[in-house]
Amino acid sequence: MESAATNQHYVPQFVLRGFASSASGKQIFVFDKANERSFSDSVRRVAAAGAFYDCETDGQPHSIDPLLTKMESAASDSIKKVIDGRSLRVLSEMGRKIIALFAAVQMLRTEAQRKQLKSMIDSVYNVLLRMGADPNNVQGFEFLDEEQTRTHSILSLREIAAALMPHFLDKCWVLYSTTKDNPFYISDNPIAMFNSNQDLLRGTLGLRVPGIEVHMPLSSRSLLGFCVQPWSARFVGAMTWHRR
């Protein structure tokens, strides 16, 4: 495949540049949690992997990288307006939809999301085995190996993101601001979810769960929140909010 050697980002470069450590926007400080070390690296090299959005099914190559590049181009314009204007009121209705789609895609496109999916599949598989069932004969369940999970994540991303997009649009949008001395940070899995409503039996981090808060960093000075109510914000700072 022609794009197989391409370094494809799961956090777009235009977003990473908003957290750059150099004036040119080409370098960024990185903290490696696994090895507990920090270092400076090129924005072109971080949060990326070769052929990350390329796969092959039935001998035919597929890539969603061109589609993501097109989406990122549209989203970068809308996000830049928000950062420069320090307000959500600068967004048109189409601008809001573009950012909502971008947030949905960003939540799905990371390496962490693929690992979470594989972990869930493995967990169900192991539970079925412990119950004495044959997972291969369980209706509605299909075991996927590493490569199959990767392929499924790539091919299903567009459809799932379109389904999740309305759940970003129907929330209150809050724009948080901070100072240069207390900047926001970004990670290789930048969509953060929090819910102060805890449940001992069920998870509370779904997009439609009451009390959910979703936060997406836009730059070191700006962060976009999608909240059930604007006063549920957990960050202190200047904010503007907009509701559909």
The phi, psi pair for 156, rounded to 5°, reads: -95, -10
Nearest Cα neighbor of 12 from 63, 71, 62, 56 is: 71
Q: Does pTM top 0.85 for this prediction?
A: yes
Rg value, the chain, Cα = 19
| Residuewise pLDDT in 10s, the chain (244 residues) | 444 447 899 999 999 999 999 888 899 999 998 899 999 999 999 999 999 999 999 899 999 999 999 999 999 999 999 999 999 999 999 999 999 999 999 999 999 999 999 999 999 999 999 999 998 888 888 899 999 999 999 999 999 999 999 999 999 999 999 999 999 999 999 999 999 888 877 788 888 888 899 999 999 999 999 998 644 444 444 444 444 4
What's the burial of 48, exposed, middle or buried (CB within 10 Å: 0-12/13-18/19+)?
buried
CA angle 142, 114, 95 (to 5 degrees): 115
Q: Which residue pairs from 89-95 have beta carbons closer than 8 angstroms and sit at least 24 positions apart in sequence?
A: 89/240, 89/242, 91/242
Nearest Cα neighbor of 160 from 104, 117, 241, 86 is: 104
- CA 237/CA 223 separation, integer angstroms: 11
- CA 36/CA 194 separation, integer angstroms: 25
